[in-house]
Structure 1
Amino acid sequence: SSWIISAFSTASRTAMEEEEGHKKMKIIASLVAFFILKWMKKRRYCTDLKRLDGKTVVITGGNSGIGKESAVALAARGARVVVACRDPDKAEEAVREIKVRSRSLNVLHMELDLANLRSVRGFCKNFLQREKRLDILINNAAMPGVLDWTDDSFSMCFGVNHLGHFLLTNLLLPRLKECAPSRVVTLTCSTYKYQKLNFQDLNYNLLPFFTYCRSKLANVYFSQEVARVTEGKGVTSYAVHPGLVQSGWTCHYSVLFRMLMQVIMWMFFVPCEVGAQTVIYCAVSQEAAKHNGGYFVDCRPAALRPFARDAAVAKKLWEVSERLVKEA
């Protein structure tokens, strides 16, 4: 019987040691996962403290997400910030928050709906009448991959993400040139690499993700072409990939999808304040000014896929876009 008791005690002790070992492995695995996620979300901050007193900034979609965080940072540097978005109630609420956080009263809202080219023209007319300066234009607003149409019958992604900003920038370019040196910062996404433009079907609207990718590629080409057409005129242009950001883009999807994405975003995406750093960097940094027409990620220039650097495609997209906005 003593042998049985001894064997039982040994087995129990071995089981307890194995359990302790499993617990330690779980703790180690959790710590490793934590530090890997922390490393994946590590980003540079814009350390350029350049003041923007006397400068005027327009930010599309400045009422939320990266746009709002950019507005706070630039208003805190002394800029006059115009938040351009379509919802006046949300805009006024955002303006109040931006004023408090930036400790600046020089923030205002002007109505702009990029899904309606008439609204874009109205915004530009109103802005040019009211404001004497435009030093920085930040084309931030964007639609995620949704299968919908603008008021002018363009696919929502292509119409808002590209054509709306194309027309806006073109109508404001004379003022940007008058206020040179000035900058145009256009937000894009690294997903541009998964599609190529088809000029026979620019209004592609079948698979939501591919529709979004094409619009973001159009942003890259557009930014390069802005740099080309304004060369020597004091206007510089930058395309920015802000990274994977915890913004409100999921509001366009189902509740189940939003719940799933909240978990994924918490694990892998960075806060909007962090995502805005490269936008701020391109808006103020002298280092960025050395890379006119460049593509920026994490506060530094980054390489584009060869097909995204095709000047002929960029020029053709510009010419086709001119025709499309005139016809609309």
Structure 2
Amino acid sequence: MGDLDGMTFLVTGANTGIGKETVRGLAGRGARVVLAGRSEERTRAAIREIAAETGNADLDFLPLDLGDLGSVRAAAATFLDSGERLDVLVNNAGLAGRRGMSASGFELAFGTNHVGPFLLTELLRDHLAATGPGRIVIVASTGHYRAPGIDWDAVRRPSVTRTAFDEYCVSKLANVLHARELGRRLEGTGVTTYSLHPGAIASDVWREVPFGMRHLMKLFMKSPAEGARTSLYCATSPEIAHQSGRYYDDRREKQPSRVVTDELAAELWERSVGWVSAG
């Protein structure tokens, strides 16, 4: 028996890295976890590994490609049609170091890291509120401090920087802004929101970075298990159950970038609603 018995968590990007370690931590405490991701083969392998280690087999796969808004809608519909409760949504999946456009017509990092998770959250948030006190956790990054703001035209065009790191930082700024505005809009519903920096983690988020550079970067990074600690803290800690819309680093609240304002958060929200309504 664990302290999360009877609770259901949905974790995106759950078959590797921080997401997988987050699932491992939740399953070890008795939670039911739905693992959302693109690869059924890799996700089911992760499920078998975690079930064998924790003794908790209450783990399921949900197909989801966050770069494709059609896939996001299908995943949300599949989950909602199941009729099961949802206590916590962990928007963990992320992409960095790859240039291009998402299937739904956004700069690749922005579309995958913000627009897809925004739509998934919108489709599931009423169900979260109906389940009872719940949480929405958004894995951002300290990289958001590097973003000077959001160029609304650039997020609808292919990546332009060589490493796409600047674009990644903008997508992470969007994550922090999303949690802030979502927290305001969900006030009084019993659902609280959190954004966080997991640390510089040697995970598959860097899978598109050239091998030599990726190998060097990972020598100075924390393990995925260490990276999952703040995600687990935001998803389960009773200490912050009544806080919402705030940003965390190393299991502590931290002041986000000065660019994170109520005005920019509200503008991102309105534009995101328009994008997902048209996409």
Provide TM-score, normalisation by structure 2.
0.95
How far apart are 1:66 and its partner, in Å? Answer: 0.5
1:107 aligns with 2:66: no
Distance across 1 between alignment mates of 2:271 and 2:215: 40
Indicate the structure (1 or 2) with the bigger Cα radius of gyration.
1
Pairing partner for 1:312 from 258, 263, 278 = 263
Distance across 1 between alignment mates of 2:225 and 2:216: 22
Distance across 2 between alignment mates of 1:279 and 1:151: 28
How far apart are 1:50 and its partner, in Å? Answer: 7.4
Residue aligned with 1:62, SS: coil
Residue 90 of structure 2 is matched in structure 1 by 138
Structure 2 gaps, min length 5: none
Distance across 1 between alignment mates of 2:209 and 2:230: 27
Across the aligned residues of Structure 1 and Structure 2, the Cα RMSD in angstroms comes to 1.5
How far apart are 1:260 and its partner, in Å? Answer: 2.8
1:183 aligns with 2:139: no
* CA offsets 1:167-208 (integer angstroms, 9 cap, x no match): 000000111000120000000001111111123433352111
Residue 194 of structure 1 is matched in structure 2 by 146
Of all paired residues, the percent bearing the same amino acid is: 37
More helix by share: 1
Residue 10 of structure 2 is matched in structure 1 by 58
Greater shift, 192-201 or 86-95, is seen at 192-201
CA contact (8 A) 2:97 2:209 kept: no
Pairing partner for 1:203 from 130, 151, 156 = 156
Report runs of 4+ in structure 1 exceeding 3 Å deviation.
Answer: none
Structure 1 gaps, min length 5: 1-48
Letter in 2 for 1:173: R
Change (3 A) 1:203 1:75: same
Pairing partner for 1:299 from 251, 268, 276 = 251
1:325 aligns with 2:272: no
Residue 255 of structure 1 is matched in structure 2 by 211
What is the correspondence of 1:100-249 to structure 2 with a 5 Å cutoff? 100-195=52-147, 196-203=149-156, 205-207=159-161, 208-249=164-205
CA contact (8 A) 2:97 2:208 kept: no
Distance across 2 between alignment mates of 1:281 and 1:108: 22
Residue aligned with 1:70, SS: helix
Residue 49 of structure 2 is matched in structure 1 by 97
Pairing partner for 2:21 from 69, 78, 85 = 69
What is the correspondence of 1:258-273 to structure 2 with a 5 Å cutoff? 258-261=214-217, 265-266=218-219, 268-273=220-225
Query: Number of residue pairs matched?
Result: 275
Provide TM-score, normalisation by structure 1.
0.81
Residue aligned with 1:296, SS: strand
How far apart are 1:145 and its partner, in Å? Answer: 2.9
Residue aligned with 1:199, SS: coil
CA contact (8 A) 1:291 1:301 kept: no
How far apart are 1:254 and its partner, in Å? Answer: 2.6
